[in-house]
Structure 1
Amino acid sequence: MSTASAPATRGPALRAIAVVVLVPLLSALALWAFAWPAARTAPRDLPLGVAGPPAATAGIEEKLTRQEGAFEIHHYADEAAARAAIEDRNVYGAVVVTARGPELLTASAASPVVAQLLQQAVTGRAAAEGGAVRTVDVVAAPAADPRGAALNASVLPLAIAGIAAGAVVTLLGLRGVRAALTLVGAAALVGLVAAALAHSWLGVLTGDWWAEAATLGLSTLAVGAAVAGCAALLGTPGIGAMAFVVMFLGNPFSGAASAPQMLPEPVGAIGQWLPPGAGSTLLRSVAFFDGAAATGPALILTWWAVLGLGAVALGDALKRRRKEDGPTAERRPALVG
């Protein structure tokens, strides 16, 4: 009797041990994914413009390059060219030498954190040396969200909405075209509702309403399709696998709270290839910069959505083939030796 009961007792004990080990492991992993990039936030090849005659900008550039690896310097002929580069999202700001003295151009809409950092790096240094630098916010963050907190906070809800959509489609047993249409419809509604809240009610987005709704919907679809597609190929564990990628890597590596160039390498680059990072970058472009530099992140989100929906269709086709092959194999006569 004791021998027979041993396997039954061993099963719950092993599960308990697994829980005791996995929970701290997941907690440590979550702390690493979220806390490490935040603790190591600093400029790394941050695109910054310098405008004016070379002889006049040489001293400024020399001071900026003292912080080795902090800034990636771009040269422009005059203030107009530097402003255009900021509006096109080629640089986060620019130091311009004018007849009135040096001037700092920033874009708090691109990143309030970076705009503040540039003010400290440029105007703070000038003040310490007894000079003064006038600051001009070329593309300002909306008055309703000057710190960009609301936009940053939108990354997690969109990721959760996408994960929920993919999981529900899988658990309800939807497959093929029906699953794809459900994912697209849910993402479209999420985009409309999110745009209504963020743009029409809160006023934290100030671009084209429909472009913002499309961006929010595409971000949700990229995650939802990836979750459903992974589950279609791997089964229910696929939901957890993609949820892990989105929540533990995509969200903290997105750079939404600061900028991709402010995160440790290669975290910032990796984050831009995942839906949360590409989605937040695209949303800034359409909400504040008239769609400038939107092509790259839009293609990445589309890539995730298309591959995810393709995996849903492939998973459905494989299941159909297995069902068709099963009865055929059973009806096949056995060979007599």
Structure 2
Amino acid sequence: MSLTPNRRLVGVVLLVPLVVTLALWAFAWPAARTAPRDLPVAIAGTAPAADQLQQRFEERDGAFEVHRYASEAEARDAIEDRTVYGAVVATAKGPELLTASAGSTVVAQLLREAVTAGAPAGSEVPVTDVVAAPAADPRGAVLGSSILPLAIAGVAAGAAVTVLGLRGARAGVALLGVAVLVGLLATAVTDSWLGALTGDWWSEAGTVALIVLAIGAPVAGLAALLGTPGIGIGALLMVLLGNPFSGVTSAPELLPRPIAVIGQLLPPGAGGSALRSVAFFDGAAAGVPVLTLGVWAVLGLVAVLVGGRRRPAADTTAPASAREPALAG
């Protein structure tokens, strides 16, 4: 039964402000509450100097998760494996800081400020960027801004498949084709042209394609099961929640709880983490994010295939005269 014009009017007046308020909350609240929460950092060296450094970090209750290593070499390995974001090394001349601006320029600056503030007045703390952000994108802006376009691409693919009436296997092939082409083109722009990604080209393209598929397939799957409203639900989940909850512009550990956990369970957050690992850390710590993306992609494609087996709803928008012969038969 169709809604009356007055009900449609009330629906628009109430729905649009509600969506805007939700978007403002999703984007503004995490940004306003950015702070370290169990941020993994390393302390390297021998006691008692290393113990004093560890105590300084632990004084900020809940802010840092301290990992201890015996040597600077072990701390460097931990940074390159993405076990920690940075390390403070206790030496005979004083503390030295190891960072990874490719992992997060925001965290690198935060650690620099924290260590400098705890150093004796007038002293200078040496800083080594173990995994540096590329010279073409020293602030990591390209990776940080790439997740939203990829999310939009995925939602657009799912919506297009639905609007064009593609069902079942045809819909799956279309989603796969879009994902592959976006992966190739996006990597050509960000890696080959801008030089903002510096990892293996094909691994980056595959990761981008998986991100798009992990977003587009669930959107199309929801639409296949629920109808057109499924597109709106998918867009809400992937863009209005998934993008601001991803932590890709800073770090998941800087977001309020449980936003960080939710964000990494959604394709935009998992995709950002996977792409960062592939682009700068030779794939270190990419396993869980890639698995998360794979689960979303598979579930979405299954929903598309299951929904495609259902009989399409009758076209209620056709003129009555066009439908009467069928009804009479």
Q: Does 1:202 align with 2:194?
A: yes
Q: 1:89 aligns with which of 77, 82, 95?
A: 82
Gaps of 5+ in 1: 1-7, 323-337
CA distance in 2, matches of 1:91, 1:244: 32
Alignment of 1:1-337 (within 5 A): 11-126=4-119, 129-319=121-311
Find the structure with the greater CA-based Rg. Answer: 1
In the alignment, residue 33 of structure 1 is paired with which amino acid?
A: A
What is the Cα-based RMSD across aligned positions, in Å? 1.5
CA distance in 2, matches of 1:16, 1:210: 50
Mean Cα deviation higher: 99-108 or 30-39: 99-108
For residue 61 of structure 2, give the secondary structure of its aligned residue in structure 1: coil
Tell me which stretches of 4 or more aligned residues in structure 1 moved more than 3 Å. Answer: none
CA distance in 2, matches of 1:227, 1:314: 14
Residue in structure 1 matched with residue 320 of structure 2 by the alignment: none
CA distance in 1, matches of 2:195, 2:101: 16
Aligned length in residues: 312
Q: What TM-score, normalized to structure 2?
A: 0.92
Instruction: Tell me how far 1:175 sits from its aligned partner.
Output: 1.1
The percent of aligned pairs where both chains have the same amino acid is 63
Mean Cα deviation higher: 36-45 or 98-107: 98-107
CA distance in 2, matches of 1:241, 1:266: 21
For residue 90 of structure 2, give the secondary structure of its aligned residue in structure 1: strand
CA distance in 1, matches of 2:47, 2:264: 34
CA distance in 1, matches of 2:186, 2:256: 31
Gaps of 5+ in 2: 315-329
In the alignment, residue 55 of structure 1 is paired with which amino acid?
A: P
For residue 49 of structure 1, give the secondary structure of its aligned residue in structure 2: strand
In the alignment, residue 28 of structure 1 is paired with which amino acid?
A: T
In the alignment, residue 199 of structure 2 is paired with which amino acid?
A: G
For residue 66 of structure 2, give the secondary structure of its aligned residue in structure 1: strand
Instruction: Tell me how far 1:209 sits from its aligned partner.
Output: 0.3
